[in-house]
Each structure stands twice: as C-alpha cells, then as structure tokens.
Amino acid sequence: MHEHAHEIAGAVSDEAFRRSLAAIIILALSAPPVGVFLMLRRMSLIGDAMSHAILPGAALGYLVSGLSVVAMTIGGLAAGLVIAVLAGLVARATELKEDASFAVFLLVSLALGVVLVTANGMNAEELMHFLFGETATSVDDEKLLMIAGNATVSTLVLAAIYRPLVLDCVDPNFLRSVSGAGVMAHLAFLVLLVINLISGFHALGTLLGVGMMIIPATVARFWTRDITTMIAVAVVAGAIAGVGGLWASAHADLPVGAGVILAAGLLYVASIILGPVGGVLWKLFPGRHLEA
C-alpha cells in the first residue's frame, strides 16, 4: 500500500504525466455533457459513427504533416463536419432516416480512412496510437492546449444552446411553435460533437475517444432523473474514469484509451447494479412501499 502511494506520488510529480492528467480532466468536463444530450436524443450510436467518420480527415492531416496535432485536428474537424452536414442533409432531403444515413457515411469514410492510412505507410505502432491512444505520458503542450480550447468552446456553446436543445428533445413541436432556434441548436450540437470527438481522439485515440462522451452519460442515467444533476454526475464519472484509467495505464504501460474506457466500463457495471434509477439491486430489493 505504502509502495503504491509512493508510486502515485512519483507519477504525479512527473511533468508528462501531469499534462495527461490535466488533459483527461478537461476532457471529462467537456465531453460527458455532450454525451448526455447524445444519449437523450437517442443518437449514441451516431456519436460512434461520427468518431469513425473523422478518421479519414485525421489520416489526411497525418499524410500532410505526420503526427501533427494541428494538421490532424483540422483534417478531423473538416471530415467530421462534412459528414455531419451531409448525413443530416441526406436524411432531410430523402426518405432515409438519419441513423441509416450516418451508418452509410461512417462505413464509407472508415474504408477511406483505412486506405489513406495504409497507402501511406503508417507503421503498426503509430497505427495503434492513432486508433487506441498513446501511452500515459504522451500529451504534449500542443495537444493539451487543443483539448483545453475545444473544451472552452464546447462548454460555452452548450450553455448557449442549452434551452432549445432540451426543448428539442422533450417537445420539438412546441419549440418550433415558439422559436426557430431548434435547427440552429441541432447544427451547433453536431459541431460540438465533432470537436469533442477530436479532443477525445487526441487523448484516447480515434476508436475509443467517443467512449468519454457516451459511457459517463449512460452511467449518469442510473443515478438521477434530473437533467442538470445528470450532467454533473456524468462529468464526475468521466473524471473518475479518466484519472483511474490514466493511472492504471501508466502503471501497466497500456494505451490510455483502453485504460480509461475500461475504467468507465467498470463504473457502468457498478451503476447498473447499484444505481437508484432502474438499477438491478433496487429492483431486486425495492424495500417496503411508501405512503404516497
């Protein structure tokens, strides 16, 4: 035990580890709230699809200037936005539903990404980093600033579109009857989704980055029936999974993405069992019924 404490203290005093720690906590502040809305809008899998959709863009950025944070961010952002807008437009202009439309774009763009990545000789180790996140000490200042900048934009924009976003989920026709803000809110939300995926991708890899958005949100669903509390719980869950996972992956020399998402998965399992809103234990042992 004493040895462990010593080890943690050692890790925290390491500057590279501290940067990763800061990055994951910032990510936990910005991504889970977006994930809560993704879940409530029944778009969880669309988030997953989008995370694949940014792959060819990031790969293009890699082609142009190697593992450069800015190039890969711009590429991923562009690809994500193009796919989001295209899929949204196809769904609105044709009979195809939005999820089916996203699924098609996801598959095509993933295939395109694979072609781009392999055709240009990314080596196996780089590809592993690209897909699953690097080691715990790999967040440099540039990445940290990118993640922090994205988080700032994400949090401010989410606050700005909060009301129409909530209304668009609960009662879309009422929103349309009082305001035209619904369309704007939906589009802004897709942009937030993309920039958080980019952050997630820098911190956790392209395949697992979306997990920091979705898993804390589903965890929170088991603990409260109030949207504000749900967002707070999701942020806390994200931070716990982030810090725990980061520490575990530093300890075992694993990719950060895998460590963090596994930690989040543990929280999810615990919530399924213990969560007061629909958790298994509360269903098995509901206690005596109340007066009213």
Binding positions for other proteins, rule: CB under 8 A: 40, 160-161, 163-164, 166-167, 169-174, 176-179, 181, 221, 224-227, 230
Nearest distance from C-beta of residue 229 to other proteins, angstroms: 8
Nearest distance from C-beta of residue 163 to other proteins, angstroms: 6
Nearest distance from C-beta of residue 222 to other proteins, angstroms: 12
Of 152 and 174, which has the nearer Cβ to other proteins? Answer: 174
Residues 147 and 24: their CA atoms lie apart, in Å, by 9
Quick check: 185 and 158 in contact, CB under 8 A? no
Residues 15 and 69: their CA atoms lie apart, in Å, by 19
**Separation of CA 19 from chain center:** 19
**Residue 36: closest CA among 186, 188, 255, 193:** 193
**Residue 206: closest CA among 114, 140, 291:** 114
3-class SS of residue 146: helix
Of 142 and 226, which has the nearer Cβ to other proteins? Answer: 226
Q: Indicate the burial class of 104 (C-beta count within 10 angstroms; 0-12, 13-18, 19 or more).
A: middle
Nearest distance from C-beta of residue 171 to other proteins, angstroms: 5
Nearest distance from C-beta of residue 216 to other proteins, angstroms: 15
Nearest distance from C-beta of residue 280 to other proteins, angstroms: 19
Residues 105 and 109: their CA atoms lie apart, in Å, by 6
Nearest distance from C-beta of residue 164 to other proteins, angstroms: 7
Of 137 and 179, which has the nearer Cβ to other proteins? Answer: 179
Of 10 and 276, which has the nearer Cβ to other proteins? Answer: 276
Of 155 and 179, which has the nearer Cβ to other proteins? Answer: 179
**Residue 73: closest CA among 180, 64, 15:** 64
DSSP per residue over 159-212, as a string?
HHTHHHHHHHHH-HHHHHHH-SHHHHHHHHHHHHHHHHHHHHHHHH-TTTTTHH
Of 10 and 172, which has the nearer Cβ to other proteins? Answer: 172
Of 13 and 228, which has the nearer Cβ to other proteins? Answer: 228
Quick check: 221 and 10 in contact, CB under 8 A? no
Nearest distance from C-beta of residue 89 to other proteins, angstroms: 16
Quick check: 8 and 248 in contact, CB under 8 A? no
The token pair at 71 is 């190039």
Of 174 and 273, which has the nearer Cβ to other proteins? Answer: 174
